[in-house]
Amino acid sequence: MKNIPRIFAGNDVATGAHVPATADVAHYLMRVMRRHDCIVFGGGREFMATLSDDGKFLVVGAQTSHDDPSGNVVLYFAPIKRVDDLINMATQMGVAAFQPVITERTTAHHTNWKRMEKIATEAAEQSNRNSVPVILPEVKFADLDLSHMVFADERAAYGKQIPAAAKTDKILVGPEGGFSDAEFAALDAAGAIGISLGKTILRAELAAAIAVGRITE
């Protein structure tokens, strides 16, 4: 079904439903794509749909897919200035949820949740996912459960094989300034597994995408 527009219609979407179409969706389908048919998705499912003649509703038809290529990974990350890129790339990589974490060296403290949700929705629509990641409320590093956590660790040896224990659903990426000594100590004490993301220093948003890819490959 290449080239058919994909629209997120909420997690409760079902055959026979009349989903309200926003003005942006109606404009996109009728004026930009010049068509009324589309695919709607949500809750891990995908359906054919048609925009009503008045442009007010998406009339949901038959279900076309029960499969969702995304997984169960929760990405724990320190908010950064380029958070849009982080959300976009990690959503395309299949992250199920985003957990903002305030670390000692976090510099961006004004997180725009509505914008993050918008970016995640757009990335899901474009990457053939059937679900949109959840954006969780931010937490402090000190309040995290670090057990079974894998984290991007610049101290780890490059090229070292990732142990089987690192195949987890919890991935942590620190701020651009890295973790503090106290945070490294807490991670080590909890048995968290540090992995290398390469020989060079990466921007946080790219590090997040690579970390997800290494753990889910």
- Residue 131 CA to residue 96 CA, distance in Å, equals 8
Last residue of a domain, one of 31, 47, 65: 65
Q: For the ranges 59-68, 123-132, 206-215, which has the lowest average pLDDT? A: 206-215
Question: Which residue is it, tokens 């984290």?
Answer: 151
Distance of CA 180 to the CA centre of its chain: 26
The closest of 150, 139, 158 to 191, measured between CA atoms, is 150
- Residue 190 CA to residue 129 CA, distance in Å, equals 33
If asked whether residues 26 and 99 sit together in one domain, one would say: no
- What is the per-residue pLDDT for 101? 95
Average pLDDT over residues 178-190: 93
Mention every residue, 6+ apart, whose C-beta is less than 8 A from residue 191. Answer: 146, 147
User: CA 113, 12, 5, 122: dihedral to nearest 10 degrees?
Assistant: 10
CA dist 114 → 45, 117, 177 (Å): 23, 5, 26
Q: For the ranges 124-128, 161-165, 167-171, 188-192, which has the lowest average pLDDT? A: 161-165
- Residue 214 CA to residue 198 CA, distance in Å, equals 11
Last residue of a domain, one of 65, 89, 110: 65
- Residue 174 CA to residue 189 CA, distance in Å, equals 17
Express each pLDDT in 113-137 by its tens digit.
899 999 999 999 998 899 999 999 9
- What is the per-residue pLDDT for 211? 83
Residues spanned by the domain of 155: 74-216
Coil/strand/helix, residue 123: helix
2 falls in which pLDDT band (50, 70, 90)? low
Express each pLDDT in 25-39 by its tens digit.
999 999 999 999 999
Answer with the residue of higher pLDDT: 121 or 202.
121
Is residue 153, in this structure, part of any structural domain at all?
A: yes
Express each pLDDT in 5-17 by its tens digit.
999 999 999 999 9
Tell whether the model's pLDDT for residue 165 goes beyond 60. no
CATH number of the domain where residue 29 is located: 2.40.240.20
- What is the per-residue pLDDT for 33? 94
Q: What is the pTM of this model?
A: 0.86
Tell whether the model's pLDDT for residue 159 goes beyond 70. no
- What is the per-residue pLDDT for 210? 82
Last residue of a domain, one of 65, 86, 101: 65
When divided into structural domains, the chain yields a total of: 2
Tell whether the model's pLDDT for residue 162 goes beyond 80. no
If asked whether residues 15 and 108 sit together in one domain, one would say: no
- What is the per-residue pLDDT for 155? 72
Two structure tokens written together for 99:
């957990």
Question: Which residue is it, tokens 């026979």?
Answer: 16
If asked whether residues 28 and 93 sit together in one domain, one would say: no
